[in-house]
Amino acid sequence: MISQVKEGYVKSEVHKGVATIEFFHPQSNSLPASILEELGKEIHWAAHDDETQVIILQSAGDKAFCAGASFEELSSIRTAEQGLTFFSGFAHVINEMRKCPKLIIGRIQGKCVGGGVGVAAATDYCIATEKAEIRLSELSIGIGPFVVGPAVERKIGLSAFSQLAIDATLWRSPDWAKRKGLFAEVHDTMENMDESIRRLATTLSHSHPAAMSELKKILWKGTEHWDTLLFERAAISGKLVVSEFSRNAIAKFKQK
């Protein structure tokens, strides 16, 4: 199943109980609203597909995993309402991942920025390579990691999340991310990463679906209020992104 969107795609396939969902955008796998919408739909589909026992979430290519929010779309936002709509896309994707009764394995082959860190944090088991540096860059453009913040904080703790959020221009190494709990494994090559993902996905595809579903409920206990919280956070980002400061910062970033 392939959902074509402007300048990118989201596609999924199921093989022996393993659903692989892949997204792509030519600008370092950034996430415009169209891809966020399709990504949410594909995760929802896999969550309710009887053939699917486990999900692998990945992006295309061998470079960046995800550059976060699309700067083209950020620069086109003119009102707080438009901003709320855009950032609600991230809220929707994270909530779909949170409520999915099936375990989600994240495949992080390269750099991970902003909203991409939030997507990685919302997976249940994240496997990466030594090229998978991370950065929460939102504060540097006048907003903040408000929507993805709960997912990141849940995974790595308040202290590590605050370090990422405050020093918004510093790349953190994959080893740092592994020590803090974002990545479960870090491999020296993509081949070794993919072999580990195949091993785990195969094992989980033969595990008791009800047991995995109950485990996921336990792992995500205490996040039930995110259906409201993440959209409240989206409103904060939506208001800030139309400020003069943010508009100037985004314009400067696009000129680089």
> pLDDT truncated to tens, each residue of the chain (256 aa)?
666 566 899 999 999 999 999 999 999 999 999 999 999 999 999 999 999 999 999 999 999 999 999 999 999 999 999 999 999 999 999 999 999 999 999 999 999 999 999 999 999 999 999 999 999 999 999 999 999 999 999 999 999 999 999 999 999 999 999 999 999 999 999 999 999 999 999 999 999 999 999 999 999 999 999 999 999 999 999 999 999 999 999 988 877 6
pTM: 0.95
Judge contact between 235 and 79, C-beta under 8 A. Answer: no
Instruction: Say if 92 falls within a structural domain.
Output: yes
Instruction: Say if 25 falls within a structural domain.
Output: yes
Instruction: Say if 231 falls within a structural domain.
Output: no
pLDDT at 253: 81
Q: How far, in Å, are 35, 41, 194 from residue 7 at the CA level?
A: 9, 18, 26
Instruction: Say if 222 falls within a structural domain.
Output: no
pLDDT at 155: 98
Helix, strand, coil percentages, rounded to 5, for the chain: 50, 20, 30
pLDDT at 255: 74
Residue 20's domain comprises 2-192
Q: Give the chain's domain count.
A: 1
**CATH number of domain containing 72:** 3.90.226.10
Instruction: Say if 219 falls within a structural domain.
Output: no
Instruction: Say if 238 falls within a structural domain.
Output: no
Amino acid present at 180: K
Instruction: Say if 201 falls within a structural domain.
Output: no
- Quote the strand ranges of 162-252, DSSP E: 185-187
Q: Residue 75 region, left (φ>0) first, then alpha (ψ -120 to 50), else beta?
A: alpha
pLDDT at 1: 62
CA distance 250 to 241: 9
- Quote the strand ranges of the chain, DSSP E: 2-5, 8-15, 18-24, 54-59, 104-108, 112-113, 125-129, 134-135, 185-187
CA distance 136 to 111: 11
What six digits make up the tokens of 241? 């992104």
Instruction: Say if 210 falls within a structural domain.
Output: no
pLDDT at 204: 98
* 8-15/18-24 β-pairing: antiparallel
